[in-house]
Amino acid sequence: MLKKEIQVEDIKNAIELKLQTLFGRTLKNASKPQLYKAVATALRDDIMKTWAYSKEKSLEENGKQLYYLSMEFLMGRFFHNNLTNLILEEKAEIACNELGIDLEEIREIEPDAGLGNGGLGRLAACFLDSLATLGLSGHGNGIRYEYGLFKQKILDGYQVEMPDSWLEDGNVWEVAKLEEPEMVYFGGIVEKTMENGKLVVWQKNCQCVKAIPYDVPIVGYKSDVVNTLRLWGARAIKPLDMGLFGKGQYVDALAEKELAEVISKVLYPEDNHEEGKYLRLKQQYFFVSASIQSIIRKFKNAGNDIHDLHEKAVIHINDTHPALGIPELMRILIDQEGLGWEEAWDITTKTFAYTNHTTLPEALEKWPEELIKQLLPRIYDIIHEINERFCRKLWDAHPYDWDTIGKMAIISHGEIHMAKLCIVGSFSVNGVAKLHSEILKKDIFRDFYKIYPKKFINVTNGVTHRRFLLRANPDLAKSITKRIGDGWVTDSFQLKKLEDFCQDTTLQEEIYKTRKHNKEELAKYILNKTNIKVDPTSIFDTHIKRLHEYKRQLLNVLHIMYLYNKLLDNPNYTMHPRTFVFAAKAAPGYHKAKLIIKLIHSVADKINNDSTINDQLKVVFLENYRVSLAEKIIPATDISKQISTAGKEASGTGNMKFMLNGALTIGTLDGANIEIKEAVGSDNIFIFGLTAEEIANYTKENNYNPYEIYQRDSELKQVLDQLINGFIEPEHPDVFRELYNDLVYGHGGCIDQYFVLKDFESYCYINAKADEIYKNPKKWWRKSIINIANAGYFSSDRTVEEYNEKVWNLKKYTF
Ligand code: 26Q
């Protein structure tokens, strides 16, 4: 494809033209949102051309395509990323400057596409960036939620949720394909007849919902491949039921329309927690059915034979949420394509691959049999048959072993176990970090591993280093490129060359200055948002992620209280001043997580307003954590907190983003922290706490006694007592009693489930060690450079390459 190189003048002309044609305005009288839209749509026009060629080429080649099915795509903002990937950043900057437009200011107008809760959704977004950059045809399929993850406000220290109406002002990055809907059917009854020896299945009296695709172009870095993120929106089949309308049942007619369209209304805000809600099940089937129908339509339009599906398409399911894709493909192959069961099952199990993202029992999806039977009768039939056949196979291998068969059955105790359905129906099952994949094999899926040893693999997560380093931390990126060239941008392993410079004091100083500058910028943001003044020369110690007990924000807070007590008790106690930064959303129904947010605020209030400690400690909670906020905080962070209870965090990906930016990690031997430690060496990371094995032993033996620790460790006791003696909240001394009780006495047979007290001492020790090393800049910045140099492995480019080798087998496109 011949593409004319874009010049600054072209950009200027395009922006002015957009202002006129879209808004009837000129530069002089355009509003800021109009300027944002004009610049963004000018850029979009350029993307659309490449997208068109990319699709044409892909059709011609008829090569294998990956479809990544996910309930969540946490994309963040598109504008800046697209500019970077198209190498138009500098030219756009000049063009805007010359037109008198403040590019940085208008970038901030774009709302985040917050169509995800956390790690799983952000991972999907990172994969899309890497797929397009590597020239692989991999497309996302998900839901176009009208409301993304709720906006978080803090009122009096408490989280309040507000709707995230991110589409209110339109979305310049999507193209609605109104003429390419798919129909999705719910409810009704199934009738089966035999005609000429063939099974004919009818679904009668169903509710039909129209799925409209909204396509978003995914631009790779310096790549001619533009992939598609296809998000499905629900529409009522008829805009209004005119029958009802005519009879004067105006309200009923409108209500029915609403009922259909509510499906794509809002993202469920639970992360790592299963909520067996009817509407959630509807969402799952809605987007999965629409996706699979459109995959097959495209496949057949290209003249392919249905028997070759697995050669031309691989469908990856992001956790179990899209698991209904397996019976849905079976339904289409059998009921619509007329295949027999065996044939259909063979194709299906060669087409699906499944990634597990969590071992927490409360996050493993199970659906009541009755619910699926009612809402998706034909899908229920098929799952039932899959289960029957699977159990028969088990019986042949283990006759009379009811225990094993009962444990492994997909349907048991009136529930359908989605992970089991995924394992049986996929050709590949993987965990997201070494430890996690081992836990899958040895623990939660061990029975399945025994019968399918080859299915189970590991693919350690990664993050796009272009968004999170090149773009989020441009000055650091420049320092790196100055030393080792820019090859690292597309070949992350080249970062390794930076290790030669780890002792180089000029580089060390340069990185220090960049960090300081980033901290100054963050300090301004903090002051503006919270009215708290923080010192950019203090250590910025950051704990940003979803609020969950296993992520142990509480351990961090108890340690802050411990430091505060030290400063109060001993005027000679010295430490480098530290600013603790938190940001986290709690699921709206997760009471304890919300209470921990309140505790962070109460402790922050107490400490930040105590002038006797000379600003040695500051505690900040930034509200409404989201991708664009992470991009501001991470480059300004010295210490990255990754302190989950070992064995609980499948991988973590924030840990990788910090490492890329040269922060040092204080972390447990959990998830990908273990591999980060292997990559940088134990001298360059601060590891503390129990191992996953030790935790598993305590749990198994039931011999962990936090009360004894509470009695023995007087400093810890002081901190815990302060939770309930009015020290923090004199007016309401009882607000945190629940947290105290859970740690010290427990409830429902569970005391300190997450081993906060047990890890407290080693956590304090490791923090003191980090403090000491920070005082020696040569040591600190050497470690920082070693972290950056070894972060190449944690790029999602590597992850995607690995999936491609082990699972997808896609061909790389070169134009
Ligand atoms: C399930 C059923 C009903 C409602 C909600 C859910 C649900 C929603 C989101 C269950 C789980 C999630 C999210 C899980 C998640 O984000 N897991 C994270 O995945 C990351 C990417 O692999 C890992 O790095 C994290 O360790 C893991 O916690």
pLDDT average, residue stretch 277-283: 95
CA–CA distance, 323 with 367 (Å, rounded to integer): 11
Count CB neighbours of 153 within 10 A: 12
587-627 tens-digit pLDDT: 999 999 999 999 999 999 999 999 999 899 999 999 999 99
CA of 116 to the centre of ligand 1 (A): 9
DSSP H or E segment with residue 88: none
Average pLDDT over residues 706-726: 97
Q: Shortest CA distance to 798 belongs to which of 640, 652, 630, 656?
A: 656
d(CA 281, CA 17): 46
Residue 248: the pLDDT is: 65
How sure is the predictor about 243, in pLDDT bands with cuts at 50, 70 and 90? low
Looking at residue 267, its pLDDT comes to: 97
The alpha carbon of residue 283 and the mean position of all alpha carbons in its chain are separated, in whole angstroms, by 18
Q: 3-class SS at 541?
A: strand
The 3-state DSSP class for residue 236 equals strand
Q: Does the beta carbon of 651 sit less than 6 angstroms from any atom of ligand 1?
A: yes
Question: Measured between alpha carbons, how far is 439 from 693 in angstroms, rounded to an integer?
Answer: 10
- Six-digit token string for 63: 């090569």
Does residue 293's CB lie within 6 angstroms of at least one atom of ligand 1?
no
Convert the pLDDT of each residue in 361-377 to its tens digit: 998 999 999 999 999 99
Let me know: does 353 contact 316? Beta carbons within 8 Å.
Answer: yes
Q: Rounded to whole angstroms, how far apart are CA atoms 579 and 615?
A: 9
Looking at the CA of residue 276, tell me the nearest atom of ligand 1: 3
Ligand 1 neighbourhood includes 590 CB (under 6 angstroms) = no
DSSP string of 488-535, one letter each residue:
GGT-GGGGGGGGGGTT-HHHHHHHHHHHHHHHHHHHHHHHHHH-----
Predicted local confidence at residue 273, as pLDDT: 79
The answer to whether the CB of 624 is under 6 A from ligand 1 is no
Distance 119 CA to ligand 1 centre (A): 7
Q: Is the pLDDT at 241 greater than 90, yes or no?
A: no
Pocket test for ligand 1, best of 70, 115, 145, 271 (most atoms within 8 A of CB): 271
Residue 727 CB–ligand 1 contact under 6 Å: no
Name the burial class of residue 162, with classes exposed (0-12), middle (13-18) and buried (19+) by CB atoms within 10 angstroms of its CB: exposed
| φ, ψ dihedrals at 539, nearest 5° | -75, 125
Beta bridge partners of 200: 193
**Which of the four pLDDT bands, split at 50, 70 and 90, describes residue 257?**
confident
Give the nearest ligand 1 atom to 436 CA.
Answer: 26
Instruction: Report residue 510 as tokens.
Output: 């340069």
Residues marked active site are found at 357, 545-546, 551, 653, 657
Tokens at residue 277, please?
């809600």
Specify the length of the chain in residues. Answer: 815
What would the mean pLDDT of 167-195 be, rounded to a whole number? 96
Check whether 242 has a pLDDT greater than 70.
no
271 lines ligand 1 (CB under 6 A): yes
3-state secondary structure of 194: strand
Confidence label for 732 from pLDDT (cuts 50, 70 and 90): very high
274 pocket-lining for ligand 1 (C-beta < 6 Å)? yes
Q: Of all atoms in ligand 1, which is nearest to the CA of residue 652?
A: 24
Angstrom distance (rounded) from CA 114 to CA 628 = 10
* Residue 486, helix vs strand vs coil: coil
Ligand 1 atom at shortest distance from the alpha carbon of 275: 3
Q: With contact defined as beta carbons under 8 Å apart, do 100 and 29 qualify?
A: no
Please check the confidence at residue 556 and state whether its pLDDT lies above 80: yes
Q: Which pLDDT score, from 0 to 100, does residue 256 have?
A: 79
In this prediction, residues 539-555 reach a mean pLDDT of 98
Tell me the Cα Rg of the chain.
Answer: 27
**Among 424, 429, 337, residue whose Cα is nearest residue 385:** 424
pLDDT reported for residue 296: 98
Q: Is the pLDDT of residue 240 over 60?
A: no
For the stretch 201-228, pLDDT in tens is 988 889 999 999 999 999 999 999 999 9
Q: pLDDT by residue (tens digit) across 420-479?
A: 999 999 999 999 999 999 999 999 999 999 999 999 999 999 999 999 999 999 999 999
Q: Residue 323: name the closest of 273, 289, 276, 361 by CA.
A: 289
Q: What is d(CA 774, CA 778) in angstroms, rounded to the nearest whole number?
A: 9
Report residue 587: phi and psi, to 5°. -60, 135
Q: How confident is the model at residue 347 (pLDDT cuts 50, 70, 90)?
A: very high
From 358, 366, 417, mutation site for ligand 1 pocket: most ligand atoms within 8 A of C-beta = 358
Pick from 73, 74, 143, 270 the residue to mutate for probing ligand 1's pocket: most ligand atoms within 8 Å of its CB. Answer: 270
Strand partners, 539: 578
Spatial CA neighbour of 352 closest among 302, 424, 283, 290: 424
Task: Tell me: pLDDT of 251 over 80.
Answer: no
Q: Which atom of ligand 1 is nearest to the CA of 355?
A: 22
DSSP string, 34-57: HHHHHHHHHHHHHHHHHHHHHHHH
Mean pLDDT over each residue of the chain, to the nearest integer? 96
**Pocket of ligand 1 contains residue 283 by CB under 6 Å:** no
Sheet holding 415-417, edge to edge: 366-368, 415-417, 411-412
CA of 357 to the centre of ligand 1 (A): 6
